Amino acid sequence: MTQALAFDPLVQALHAQLASLPDYRKGKNIQYAIKDAALGAFAVFFTQSPSFLAYQRTMKQAKGRSNADSLFGIVDSPCDNQIRTLLDPVAPAQLFPVFAGVYDALESAGHLSSWRVFTDQLLIALDGTEYFTSHEIHCDRCSQRTHRNGEVTYFHQVITPVIVAPGKHEVIPLEPEFITPQDGHEKQDCEQVAAKRWIEGHVDHYQQVTILGDDLYCKQPFCELLLHHGCNFILVCKPESHTTLYEWLAGVEAAGDLQQFTIRRWNGRFHTVHTYRYASEVPLREGEDAVWVNWCELTITKETDGTILYRNAFATQHHLDHTSVKSVVQAGRTRWKIENEHNNTLKTKGYHLEHNYGHGKQHLSAVLLTLNLIAFLFHTVLGWVDPKYHLLRQTLAARQTFFHDLQALTRYLLFDSWDHLLNFMLQGLEIAMSPDAS
């Protein structure tokens, strides 16, 4: 099943999905296929080369073929403006099955077994991020904020769910959910409502899930929705937004029933003290219908002077005791990977998530972001299953170096296949594959 996750099968799966994209054009001006437009945008994101398509058109004129064809299967490449026009009417949800397909292949090949915690749980972290902002450019799907001076900022936000795991440096991107004005709703869309849409639309596809999120998600309606879908949760739980819960905890502590223990650890520079506190069956809010949760807290202090280095608390329905609370807290802290290993990587490591590749009037910015996420997902998967790719990325330790080489090689040289390109890079760097590489 790992073969289904190699470069060519991944691109073929993308082809199959793009072939079903609707074509809203009227008239006879249909020189370029919608699929080629989407593949062209994907190729730009995958190579991290904004000029990739222009270089390939020049190569095709000179050599009769190009890497756009041999690597990505693009039959006839539209120019950038044509791509924007062709993709603007396409809803990003048309691309979402690609994410589920990659997940299914990872699951079938056994790659997700090491990602599961508490024996069987996958951790899915939710968080919102902004990917477009302007004082002038806007569309009907923009959110907006009005400043005191009357100036309006238009922006796009998206929730980017990812599978995370303690000890894993990578994350596995899942279908995004766009925070955008909803038909029939007077209020502006928000992160909490968009997260509910994602849960209702997608979470049932993933098996044995624990949702991670910040305090914004630790609310009764959202927790009830998670429980309705059979999900557990580990959500940040702050005192200022959970008055009833913390009043209850004060009573538990006063009665001497609040569990607590400490662990002394060396962090490489000095000793720290990890203080765990936890309690079972406390109400998330006031009222007879309150969801009852288990609560835990970790405070890390410097042993020498008691300086607080970290403090956070979580609400969950996972069982807590002196052993399990450490794992629950560790899982809760893994939520930060969605920011550090995903959103920040997409913004600062070559994918240029916040760059305005094209705004459009309908769905363009959202469908381009989705293709960008798919490119990031493919690179992540190839790093696990393709030994040649993995070896190159290890040798060219800086992500930027790898992509600079990829851009230069595909600009000047024609490769028959992805494997041909990787072999050329390995030979040029005089890297030998180990006999048992698989």
Say yes or no: 319 and 395 in one domain. Answer: no
Distances (CA, A) of 354 to 129, 132, 343: 10, 6, 10
Residues 365 and 314 in one domain: no
Q: Verify that 7 and 101 share a domain, yes or no.
A: yes
Q: Is residue 199 part of a domain?
A: no
Given phi > 0 = left and psi -120 to 50 = alpha, else beta, which region is 417? beta
Its domain, for residue 256, covers: 237-323
Q: How far apart are CA 211 and CA 332, in angstroms?
A: 9
**Do 287 and 371 share a structural domain?**
no
Give the burial class of 361: count Cβ atoms within 10 A of its Cβ; 0-12 exposed, 13-18 middle, 19 or more buried. exposed
> For the stretch 137-154, what's the b/e string if a residue is b when 16 or more beta carbons lie within 10 angstroms of its beta carbon?
ebbebbbeeeeeeeeeeb
pLDDT of residue 227: 98
Q: Does 341 reside within a domain? A: no
Domain end position, chosen among 306, 323, 340: 323
Distance, in Å, from the CA atom of 391 to the CA atom of 366, rounded to the nearest integer, reads 33
Query: Same domain for 312 and 365?
Result: no
Q: Would 138 be classed as within a structural domain?
A: no
318 within some domain: yes
Low-confidence ranges of the chain (pLDDT < 70): 1, 27-29, 183-188, 340-343, 345-346, 348-355, 434-438
Do 49 and 6 lie in one domain? The reply is: yes
User: Number of folded domains in the chain?
Assistant: 2
- Give dist(CA 333, CA 327) in Å, integer: 10
Domain annotation covers residue 201:
no
Same domain, 1 and 103: yes
Q: At what angle do helices 191-202 and 220-228 cross, to 10 degrees?
A: 10
Structural domain ending residue among the three candidates 274, 303, 323: 323
Question: Residue 81: inside a domain, yes or no?
Answer: yes
Quick check: is 134 in a domain?
no
Quote the tokens at residue 300.
């890390």
Which of 276, 304, 323 terminates a domain? The answer is 323
Amino acid type, 361: K
d(CA 33, CA 104): 28
Q: CA–CA separation, 11 vs 204, rounded Å?
A: 26
Statement to judge: residues 306 and 393 lie in one domain? no
Asked whether residue 263 is domain-assigned, the answer is: yes
The predicted-structure confidence for 179-199, as pLDDT tens digits, reads as follows 987 755 556 678 999 999 999
Contact by Cβ (8 Å): 36, 14: no
Answer yes or no: do 376 and 317 share one domain: no
Residue 307 shares a structural domain with residue 364? no
Phi then psi dihedrals of residue 421, to 5 deg = -60, -45
Cα angle 105-109-114, degrees, rounded to a multiple of 5: 110
Same domain (yes/no): 261, 363: no
Say which residue the tokens 């902004």 belong to: 130
Do 306 and 390 lie in one domain? The reply is: no
- Total Cβ atoms within 10 A of residue 398: 10
